[in-house]
Copies of this chain bind each other. A is one copy, B any other.
C-alpha cells in the first residue's frame, strides 16, 4: 500500500512550475529533463492534472504548462486525489457474509416498519476516520508551503556564513 510513482512525479512537476516565473509556461521537454522522466509518460500525468484544473496547457510554439491557480491553493490532497483516484482507503468486500449481520445489526433484529436502519459499519467507521485524519493533514499542506520552507532554509544557510 503505497502512493504510486506518478504521484511523486506530479508533485515535483508542480513544484517546478511553482518555482518558474508566472506567465512563463514551461514545456514538457524541460520538465522531462528536470525530473529525469520520459516525456511520454510525464505528458500522461500532466494531462490528468490539466483535466482536473490543476494546471493550464497551451500547445504550439513556446507553449507549455503553468499552474492554473496560485500555489498556495494547490494542496497535497488535491494532487494525490487526481493521480490516485478518490476511492476510499477501505471498502468492504463481503457485506453479505454472516459476519456482517453480527457487526452491523449487533446481534439484534430491528424489524419494525422494515427499516434497513443504515446503522453504519463499525469497521468502516474506524477506517474512514483514519482516512479523514490523513486527508486533513494533506489538505493543510500546499505546494507553496514547500517552496516557503525551502526559502527559509536557504536564508538560514546564508545567515550562518
Total interface residues on A, CB under 8 Å, equals 62
Counted per complex, copies of this chain come to 2
Q: Beyond A99-B34, A108-B158, A123-B11, is A93–B133 a contact (Cβ under 8 Å)?
A: no
A112 CB → nearest B CB, Å: 9
Q: Beyond A1-B84, A5-B93, is A137–B130 a contact (Cβ under 8 Å)?
A: yes
Please, how many angstroms separate the alpha-carbon atoms of A91 and B2 in the complex? 8
Option from B9, B98, B151 in Cβ contact (under 8 Å) with A33: B98
A5 CB → nearest B CB, Å: 5
Option from B16, B36, B87, B122 in Cβ contact (under 8 Å) with A2: B87
**Residues of B contacting A110 with CB < 8 Å?**
157
Please, how many angstroms separate the alpha-carbon atoms of A85 and B145 in the complex? 30
Q: Which residues does A use to contact B, with CB under 8 Å?
A: 1-5, 7-9, 11-12, 15-16, 19, 33-37, 76, 84-85, 87-94, 96-99, 102-103, 106-108, 110, 119, 122-123, 126-127, 129-131, 133-134, 136-138, 141, 145-146, 149-151, 153-154, 157-158
